[in-house]
């Protein structure tokens, strides 16, 4: 994200205005879509959208995929466990442990495990009147809407990228006064003067 790589002095004015407007539009759109589908906890959609819209497109795709996989695994495991076991802290602990073991099988990384654990906790620990599979499905749907809205916004309204520091260094002008200011260059070693007739043995 541009703001994370800039100091307080650089991240201001027009940049912060555009960034704030972009984030607000994404969050509102996510809430409206979730409400359109009458999801009971629509607030999970904008939470997901806000997390993802803080990234560039490349980073957003990676975050989105891992969050999608992790949420799906957590929702499925939570629904299965809640349907066959009573609510107990040891059951929850064993489920979190098992989720960590199956995440690598789905080519999911630690961030997916984190998102899956959050979904698992919501499904298993929060008391619900309806069946567990319904809670798991709602959670998955809310996160999926948040991911979709974030990716669409990132495509149609990308955030300006900063020039990486390495490129700034390589593009910076070098000094030409003698040997001063040369980057990563050692001065030439003094050449040994040729032997004169007086120096020969």
Contact of 178 with 185, CB cutoff 8 Å: no
pLDDT at 172: 44
pLDDT at 190: 52
Bigger pLDDT: 15 or 101? 101
pLDDT tens digits for 178-196?
444 444 444 455 555 555 5
Length of the chain in terms of residues written: 201
pLDDT at 196: 52
Least confident stretch, 18-27, 105-114, 125-134, 146-155: 125-134
Residue 51 has pLDDT above 50, yes or no: yes
C-alpha 49/C-alpha 32 separation (Å) is: 12
Mean pLDDT of the chain: 80
Give the helix ranges, DSSP H, for 38-187: 44-53, 57-84, 89-102, 110-125, 132-156, 165-171
C-alpha 196/C-alpha 148 separation (Å) is: 81
Residue 96 has pLDDT above 70, yes or no: yes
Phi and psi torsions of 97, nearest 5°: -60, -45
Q: How confident is the model at residue 177 (pLDDT cuts 50, 70, 90)?
A: very low
Residue found by looking up tokens 């298993």 in the block = 124
Q: What is the mean predicted confidence (pLDDT) over 161-181?
A: 44
Q: How confident is the model at residue 70 (pLDDT cuts 50, 70, 90)?
A: very high
C-alpha 142/C-alpha 42 separation (Å) is: 6
pLDDT at 109: 93
Tokens of 154: 């990132």
Q: How confident is the model at residue 10 (pLDDT cuts 50, 70, 90)?
A: low
Reported pTM: 0.69
Residue 197 has pLDDT above 60, yes or no: no
C-alpha 128/C-alpha 79 separation (Å) is: 12
């Amino acid at each position: 994200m541009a703001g994370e790589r800039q100091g307080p002095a650089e991240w201001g004015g027009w940049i912060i205005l555009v960034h704030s407007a972009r984030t607000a539009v994404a969050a509102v759109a996510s809430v409206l879509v979730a409400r359109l589908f009458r999801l009971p906890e629509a607030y999970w959609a904008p939470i997901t959208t806000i997390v993802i819209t803080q990234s560039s497109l490349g980073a957003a795709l990676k975050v989105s995929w891992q969050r999608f996989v992790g949420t799906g695994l957590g929702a499925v495991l939570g629904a299965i466990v809640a349907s066959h076991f009573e609510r107990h802290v040891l059951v929850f602990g064993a489920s979190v442990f098992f989720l960590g073991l199956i995440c690598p099988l789905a080519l999911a990384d630690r961030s997916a495990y984190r998102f899956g654990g959050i979904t698992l906790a919501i499904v298993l620990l929060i008391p619900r009147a309806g069946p567990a599979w319904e809670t798991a499905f709602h959670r998955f749907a809310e996160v999926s809407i948040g991911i979709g809205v974030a990716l669409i916004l990132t495509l149609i309204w990308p955030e300006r990228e900063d020039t990486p520091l390495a490129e700034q260094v390589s593009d910076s002008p070098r000094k030409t006064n003698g040997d001063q200011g040369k980057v990563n260059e050692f001065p030439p070693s003094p050449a040994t003067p040729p032997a004169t007739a007086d120096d020969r043995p």
